[in-house]
Chain A
Amino acid sequence: MAVTSVTPAAGPRGGERARLPDGLWRLYAYLLPAALLLAAVLAIPIVQTVWLSLHTQEGLSPEKTWVGLANYRDLFADGTFWRVFAQTVVWTVSVVGVTTVAGFAVAHVLQARFRGRWLFRVVLMLPWATSLALSAVVWRFAMSPKGLVNESISLLGLGEVSVAWLADVPQAALAVIYVGIWGSVPFTAVMLVAAMRSIPDSIHEAAELDGAGALARAFFVTLPMIRRVLLVVTLSNFVLVFNSFPIIYVMTGGGPVNKTDILATYLYRTGFSGDFDIGTASAIAVVILVLLLVMSIVYVRGLVNRTRV
């Protein structure tokens, strides 16, 4: 390291922080690259989305016609939109719900000391670390009628099956939800175990002396102690899963006939396939943004007000 000697006599003390006006400009200069990137890729496009949602655009031509709220009117009058909306709710709630419960259970396995725990950790993180687009391709392949999912079901002694998992609902919906859970449990479990480690051993020992079994301790000691982290993780899962695109887009493409679409995939296919309906796609994006805004208010209340960095 370059700095080792300290010379206390050098310069007037406290100068660095007192020189605000000059220092302030420099501080903002430090923030500038990040601010520019966020503005260019997030802030401005959000405004553009609202603008585009008030226009119609013929395919890929740049000609835009002002139509006011017509895109929204058409969207809200469209039965498909509302069905996709309901499917988004089902998808998000079931993936996040099961993930929270399963993540809490897996966190207990992760916290225990046993041989090969290191390997278990690495294996557990695989679903989180692999691109969902790739694992979705593999799941899609494995779920074909003669694929390895059906083969495994018969190996487990559950009978010979040749289910075409992705060809129809409800099994296609179940299949994508399963993969959604598969992909979000690892991160949840790791976050929860980090929180569980911060609980002092003495609390568990005291509960054990009082005769509380493992299950009782999990629910009456661990759960209340990690409540805040559980809330934060569940909320961020909610947003992530709600926004999730690759799993459904890759596995079913939203099909058969929109039956597994969620808002994210519906938006993409509206804007980038068929008749490239930019106006309607933007209106869907605005709907998503409004929902995200509501969620972020909940999120900020839950997180910022309690943890300050």
Chain B
Amino acid sequence: MRRPGFHLDAWRFTLYGAALIVAGICLFPYLVMVSTALKPDAELAGAQSWLPTAPNWSIFVDIWTDETVLRGLRNSLIIAFGVTFLTLACAIPAAYALARHRFPLRDGFMTVVLVTQMLSPIVVIVPLFQTATDLGLLGGFPGVILASSAFILPFSIWLLTGFFSAISTELEEAATLDACGRLATLWHVILPLSLPGLAATAVYSFLFGWNEFVISLTFLSAVPEKWPVTVGVFSSIGQWDIGWQALMMTALISTLPVLLLFSFVQKYLDRGFATLIGR
């Protein structure tokens, strides 16, 4: 089966054919983004074709001077970093305790974590909106970050617990004997050894914050200057002053960090998935 080199037999042919079709389906919206971003207004008015006849390449430069777009990207970054930080700050100690110790309520907590993974923001968005209003958290980033983090936290705890459990306890015991406190042990021994797990968890929470939609849509609807890209692009549909070209370009730009992060941590993510589905 695994012959070295390149053979274009029937099986290979089917394989490449299937890969190409799947890739084409996956890429479709991204091709739409590029094609549309490059078109002058006139070519968007009638029936559209894939190739712009007079491509407007300057959009690649002009978009970076569009203040609305830059503000949206900045807002998305703030939310994504906030979510990453808060999630890790809550998940690391919790996962450490769950991975290393048996104690009353441990299994109960694990089950709660697993079940809360099934909740989506939409189910509790009404009371969240009211609570945020009461606490004065409406229209600001802290409210969005707090609420969003809770939805990626269960998954992060689950993922990190798996990674922490995989680290030998001997190193830790050595550290304890060396008179390291628990917190110091966690910081100096466990965290450096579980960098892949931390990277995977950080990427997941970053992506979650970067892509979050419904909480920002609800909490920030009255303050357009704080809209992240997701809400901004959605809310601009049908607005006469913002062209489709800029929208598509913004959507394209906002997939870039995702793609970069993803390429960097691909192999860690594999291990993350493997942890998730059990051993």
Whether A52 sits at the interface, judged by CB under 8 Å, is yes
Q: Contact residue range for chain B?
A: 35 or more
**A27 touching B101 in the complex, CB below 8 Å, given contacts A1-B192, A147-B48, A250-B234:** yes
**A42 touching B150 in the complex, CB below 8 Å, given contacts A123-B23, A138-B33:** yes
Q: Are B258 and A124 in contact (CB under 8 A)?
A: no
The smallest C-beta distance from B238 to any residue of chain A, in angstroms, reads: 11
Q: State which of B62-70, B176-184, B194-202 sits at the interface with chain A.
A: B176-184
Nearest to A23 among chain B residues (CB) is B101
Interface SS of chain B: helix, strand, loop or mixed?
helix
Whether B96 sits at the interface, judged by CB under 8 Å, is yes
Whether A173 sits at the interface, judged by CB under 8 Å, is no
Q: Are A34 and B94 in contact (CB under 8 A)?
A: yes
Nearest to B109 among chain A residues (CB) is A31
Q: Would you list which residues of chain A between 162 and 221 have a CB under 8 Å from chain B?
A: 162, 182, 186, 190-191, 194-195, 198, 208, 214
Nearest to B255 among chain A residues (CB) is A130
Distance A112 CA – B124 CA, assembled complex (angstroms):
43
Distance A68 CA – B94 CA, assembled complex (angstroms):
39
Q: Are B213 and A132 in contact (CB under 8 A)?
A: yes
**A300 touching B115 in the complex, CB below 8 Å, given contacts A30-B97, A34-B94, A45-B128:** yes
Q: How many residues of chain A have a CB within 8 Å of chain B? A: 110
Q: Would you list which residues of chain B between 226 and 279 have a CB under 8 Å from chain A?
A: 229-231, 233-234, 237, 244, 247-248, 251, 254-255, 258-259, 262-263, 266, 270, 273-274, 276-279
Whether A93 sits at the interface, judged by CB under 8 Å, is no
Q: Are B48 and A148 in contact (CB under 8 A)?
A: yes
Whether A18 sits at the interface, judged by CB under 8 Å, is no
Distance A40 CA – B150 CA, assembled complex (angstroms):
9
Q: Are A133 and B178 in contact (CB under 8 A)?
A: no
Please, what's the 1-or-0 string for A1-43, where 1 marks a CB less than 8 Å from any CB in chain B?
1110111101100001100000110110111011101101110
Q: Are B178 and A7 in contact (CB under 8 A)?
A: yes
Q: Are A243 and B251 in contact (CB under 8 A)?
A: no
The residue that B259 contacts in the complex, of A33, A122, A142, A289, with Cβ under 8 A, is: A122
Question: A48-B130, A123-B26 are known contacts; what are 8 more A-B pairs with Cβ within 8 Å?
Answer: A35-B109, A38-B153, A52-B126, A122-B263, A129-B207, A245-B122, A267-B125, A309-B110
Q: Rank and list the top 8 A-B pairs by shortest CB-CB distance, nearest first.
A: A307-B278, A41-B150, A131-B211, A48-B127, A243-B120, A45-B124, A30-B97, A34-B94
Interface of B toward A, CB cutoff 8 Å? 1-2, 6, 11-12, 15-16, 18-19, 22-23, 25-30, 32-33, 35-36, 46-50, 86, 89-91, 93-94, 96-99, 101, 103-104, 109-112, 114-116, 118-131, 146-147, 149-151, 153-154, 157-158, 161-162, 165, 171, 174-180, 182, 184-185, 188-189, 192, 207, 210-214, 218, 229-231, 233-234, 237, 244, 247-248, 251, 254-255, 258-259, 262-263, 266, 270, 273-274, 276-279
